[in-house]
Structure 1
């Protein structure tokens, strides 16, 4: 009965986060649900507080990097990069797709998948429209590289931050092990998009159109702060300093001048960190703990293989992907990490599954649902096309990325 009640509460929380009834923030349901599981004894209060303390550093970093991404956007970083891609494409849709894949992969790696979904996607939409390229392939590229491309750094995704903590790896070691899987994933995603949308992408040899994209001065200060912040996060992690400190430094460097010029208000700065979602993450951790304590955790532990051989890594990756498409990738991460804790390569295999797997269905990640809501109605994906592309890409990309991780672990 306790397992059933915990599962129902988790399902309701996820449904509310996905549907957002009455425009409610996720925390409006997540916090009462966390209080409920404590109130009825599914999770002891002491354990809930321990979960909150464990997640707090990760959530603080998430808040800082979300605010940093919005400040970069308001400084014109994404508009500048979009204009560069538009001019470099020379009006050729196939070339623009390649540039979009690269831009989305790098943006996701450095500024999280939320920056790609919320801030880069509108820029790509405008750029494709300006150069006369079909918008749909480039919009799909933003989504697929937001999810599957968020493998490289601990900062690329909230799931990465959770896995980074559980793995015990250093920032540099994490990045080194995930570089080959990230490159393989980005390459295969580009090839799949190129093949799937081949009719929408004219032969570049016959396409002599010239892109006309406005040229604005580069936001040099913001770009410099961006580079310094990314380097600072890596250095801070290597020195044992919380990455949130370096991210907060980047926020201050971008925000203080704008606050002094009254171009930004403190309230807008706080809201850019999405505090409601940050609180929701902690509340969700408590709710997932209730499910883990009452059956699912032990079931996963008994069902999943031990070790870090190739076969075991493939099973972990595909189970994580399946679970992500059933209960969303954030709860799937919270459910599976305790099972593989202490085995760094196994943790990374789970991460492959919860990051690449969500491209299969709408409910795989909250980022996918947000991406779909943000698109103009005419450009929203058709269900058949979305799932067909997911079925084409997810299994082979996930298998290849897992093999690449296994090879990286042997070589490094």
Structure 2
């Protein structure tokens, strides 16, 4: 609810800017044309993910992974790492934070090992693993739309830094929790899905959706179609699951308010000073400078407004990806660095898992610079 209140306040600020002539109505119309399809995608893919989880798809996948690990925590962790990366790449970081977190915490509880390494893996990979495709992060969708890049063109630029970001994140995670990750556990028996028809519909829907998200279609189209298929299936088989909370309205209000408020700041030329800080050029030092500014801004004010404020100063694909490295992979220090982190924490609280924010921030201060610098240098020398 708090993020919805913040979003509502930001919407009022943006509306005031329009009323007093700071923000022209034409600029608002142009902004709406740009972001409405993205918000439709966010709503649709969230509904898809929630209903797939309701069908038991993610739980079955996680239990199969636990069986494959054969009692070795390190193998279970590596499998969770792969699952978190795949979920983030194809279904977005917020989906990973919301749906995978309870799965990995439950897995850790069943295995009688600490949930903290698995929970940290989920939230860090949700952020640092969100570089590869436009659908992986809301900032990526904005960037791809800004430059008119096909998903495969986008991936061609981001592939190497995305891989480096995940590998460095994994190395830091292992280095900070080696004893817990080298433990052994007794896997429990897997449980079948409650409704095999819904399970199959969800599995087939996701299997069809994933390639369509990189097909070149506007991503909101296949996501909306997939959501419609699952809604119809649940309306027939389990109508009680179709509740208003499936729609992430708080996220929509929050994101809308951020978009409008930052556009108002641009119109008032309040962000011009960032041009001096962000610099210019595509050399390694210039890209590190831009990525560093992006990471710092994301941890101060959240990655969405940080991206929007700095986008005008990332005027080519390479600089834009450097900015994305900063605002995506670097937003793991403060709890408010990304919405995914806030959503992740809400799920942990609901499952009675305590996270020390000071320790979280100290670990983030260790990991974020390593990830951002490594991924940015990989971009500089491969783009």
TM-score under structure 1 length normalisation: 0.86
| Residue in structure 1 matched with residue 188 of structure 2 by the alignment | 212
| Residue in structure 2 matched with residue 224 of structure 1 by the alignment | 204
| Residue in structure 1 matched with residue 155 of structure 2 by the alignment | 175
Q: Contact 1:360–1:387 (CA<8 Å) still a contact in 2? A: yes
In 2, Cα distance between equivalents of 1:313 and 1:213: 49
SS for the counterpart of 1:216 is coil
| Residue in structure 1 matched with residue 224 of structure 2 by the alignment | 248
| Residue in structure 1 matched with residue 88 of structure 2 by the alignment | 108
Q: Contact 2:279–2:290 (CA<8 Å) still a contact in 1? A: yes
In 2, Cα distance between equivalents of 1:296 and 1:303: 14
| Residue in structure 2 matched with residue 394 of structure 1 by the alignment | 368
* 1:25 shift after superposition: 5.0
Q: Contact 1:316–1:353 (CA<8 Å) still a contact in 2? A: yes
Q: Does 1:408 align with 2:371?
A: no
SS for the counterpart of 1:324 is helix
Query: 322, 325, 346: which is aligned to 1:349?
Result: 322
* 1:330 shift after superposition: 0.7
| Residue in structure 2 matched with residue 118 of structure 1 by the alignment | 98
- Unaligned residue ranges in structure 1 (runs of 5+): 1-16
SS for the counterpart of 1:300 is helix
In 2, Cα distance between equivalents of 1:296 and 1:405: 30
In 2, Cα distance between equivalents of 1:346 and 1:46: 28
In 2, Cα distance between equivalents of 1:248 and 1:131: 37
* 1:65 shift after superposition: 1.3
Query: 27, 34, 37: which is aligned to 1:57?
Result: 37
TM-score under structure 2 length normalisation: 0.92
In 1, Cα distance between equivalents of 2:6 and 2:232: 29
In 2, Cα distance between equivalents of 1:244 and 1:366: 20
In 2, Cα distance between equivalents of 1:186 and 1:107: 13
- Compared CA separation, residues 405 and 264, structure 1 to 2 (3 A): farther
- Compared CA separation, residues 49 and 280, structure 1 to 2 (3 A): farther
SS for the counterpart of 1:48 is helix
SS for the counterpart of 1:393 is helix
In 2, Cα distance between equivalents of 1:31 and 1:292: 15
In 1, Cα distance between equivalents of 2:119 and 2:237: 35
| Residue in structure 2 matched with residue 234 of structure 1 by the alignment | 214
In 2, Cα distance between equivalents of 1:273 and 1:300: 35
- Unaligned residue ranges in structure 2 (runs of 5+): none
* 1:134 shift after superposition: 1.0
Q: Does 1:200 align with 2:173?
A: no
| Residue in structure 2 matched with residue 32 of structure 1 by the alignment | 12
Q: Which moved more, 1:119-128 or 1:42-51?
A: 42-51
> C-alpha offsets along residues 328-386 of structure 1, whole Å, 9 cap, x if unaligned?
10100111112224x01111111111111111111211221221122137522212321
Q: Contact 2:8–2:253 (CA<8 Å) still a contact in 1? A: no
SS for the counterpart of 1:379 is coil
SS for the counterpart of 1:361 is coil
Q: Does 1:130 align with 2:103?
A: no
Q: Contact 2:280–2:313 (CA<8 Å) still a contact in 1? A: no
* 1:406 shift after superposition: 2.4
| Residue in structure 2 matched with residue 189 of structure 1 by the alignment | 169
RMSD across aligned positions (CA): 2.1
| Residue in structure 2 matched with residue 323 of structure 1 by the alignment | 297
SS for the counterpart of 1:140 is helix
